[in-house]
């Protein structure tokens, strides 16, 4: 399963790139606003940090303007992936862009039928939001299971990009279901390395090593 960082914070992205665990980045208008950076400038910088797809979202709501915005965004770098909302206009834009070989991430997906439409529109990625479903008392992971079944039934190439990931259990379940990608805040990705028994075991090893009085370097 590929790991994308859901952030526009440069330092966090650099730190994850250094681990070798990062396969791409997703941004959205809220994350750009949070970063306080210029959209074009920060997107270009992120694209230079990873060779993986970097999702940059259009903000127009109509197909014609979405296409014009995509035209500007895809000139930023070869690894820009145009993010469009799961609306009829977004799907039309998706079809047009993927037909020309541009990567498209169809975002704000909350139902399996919406995901079916994204696949039929040729999306490179579909982003079902699990955390926002959970916030509303619906099990978001059930949506991922349903989409996996549908995509496997018809051998769609669209990759399931689990979004709105809030904790380690979302990541684990995504991997068990067979999602293609998950995007999460950097803290969630780094947190996957944590285990209390790892900390405890390491502490004991260090104590015992000190008793030997030896050094490796
Ligand atoms: C996905 O691409 C979105 O940027 C993101 O995962 C949304 O997550 P949130 O629900 O935590 O805002």
Catalytic site residue from 2, 34, 83, 92 = 83
Candidate from 118, 163, 184 with most ligand 1 atoms within 8 A of CB, to mutate: 163
Nearest CA to ligand 1 atom 7: 164
Considering all CA atoms of the chain, what is the largest pairwise distance in Å, rounded to the nearest integer?
A: 71
Q: Are 81 and 56 in contact (CB under 8 A)?
A: yes
**What is the residue with the minimal CA distance to atom 6 of ligand 1?**
164
Q: How many CB atoms lie within 10 A of CB 204?
A: 10
92 is catalytic: no
- CB of residue 105 inside a 6 A radius of ligand 1: no
* Cα 43 from Cα 138, distance rounded (Å): 33
Per-residue pLDDT of the chain (217 residues; tens, 9 = 90+): 999 999 999 999 999 999 999 999 999 999 999 999 999 999 999 999 999 999 999 999 999 999 999 999 999 999 999 999 999 999 999 999 999 999 999 999 999 999 999 999 999 999 999 999 999 999 999 999 999 999 999 999 999 999 999 999 999 999 999 999 999 999 999 999 999 999 999 999 999 999 999 999 9
Give, for 121, the enclosing helix (H) or strand (E): none
Q: Please give the distance, rounded to the nearest whole angstrom, from the Cα atom of residue 164 to the centre of ligand 1.
A: 4
Taking the centre of ligand 1 as the mean of its atom positions, its distance from the CA of residue 113, in whole angstroms, is 20
Per DSSP, helices labelled H in 74-139 are 88-99, 112-120, 130-135
Q: Quick one: pLDDT at residue 154? A: 98
Provide the H-helix boundaries in 36-162: 39-49, 63-73, 88-99, 112-120, 130-135, 140-154
pLDDT tens for each residue of 44-65 = 999 999 999 999 999 999 999 9
Separation of CA 76 and ligand 1 centre (Å): 22
Spatial separation of the C-alpha atoms in residues 107 and 57, rounded to whole Å = 9
Rg for the chain, CA atoms, rounded: 19
The pTM for the full model equals 0.97
Q: Return the ∠ at Cα 92 (arms to 90 and 94), rounded to 5°.
A: 70
pLDDT tens-place string over residues 108-144: 999 999 999 999 999 999 999 999 999 999 999 999 9
**Cβ atoms within 10 A of the Cβ of 23, count?**
18
């Amino acid at each position: 399963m590929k790991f994308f960082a859901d952030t526009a914070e440069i330092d966090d992205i650099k730190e994850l790139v250094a681990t070798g665990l990062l396969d791409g980045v997703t941004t959205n208008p809220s994350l750009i606003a949070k970063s306080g950076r210029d959209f074009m400038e920060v997107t270009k910088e992120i694209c230079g940090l990873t060779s993986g797809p970097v999702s940059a979202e259009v903000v127009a709501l109509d197909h014609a303007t979405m296409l014009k915005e995509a035209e500007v965004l895809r000139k930023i770098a070869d690894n820009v992936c145009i993010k469009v909302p799961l609306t009829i206009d977004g799907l039309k834009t998706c079809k047009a862009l993927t037909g020309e070989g541009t990567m498209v991430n169809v975002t704000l997906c909350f139902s399996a039928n919406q995901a079916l439409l994204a696949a039929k529109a040729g999306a490179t990625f579909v982003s079902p939001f699990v955390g926002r479903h959970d916030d509303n008392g619906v099990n978001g992971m059930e949506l991922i299971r349903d989409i996996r079944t549908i995509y496997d039934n018809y051998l769609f190439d669209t990759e399931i990009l689990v979004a709105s990931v809030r904790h380690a259990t979302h990541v684990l379940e995504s991997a068990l279901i067979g999602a293609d990608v998950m995007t999460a805040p950097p803290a969630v990705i780094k947190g996957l390395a944590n285990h209390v028994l790892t900390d405890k075991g390491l502490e004991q090893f260090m104590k015992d090593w000190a008793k030997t009085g030896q050094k490796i370097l």
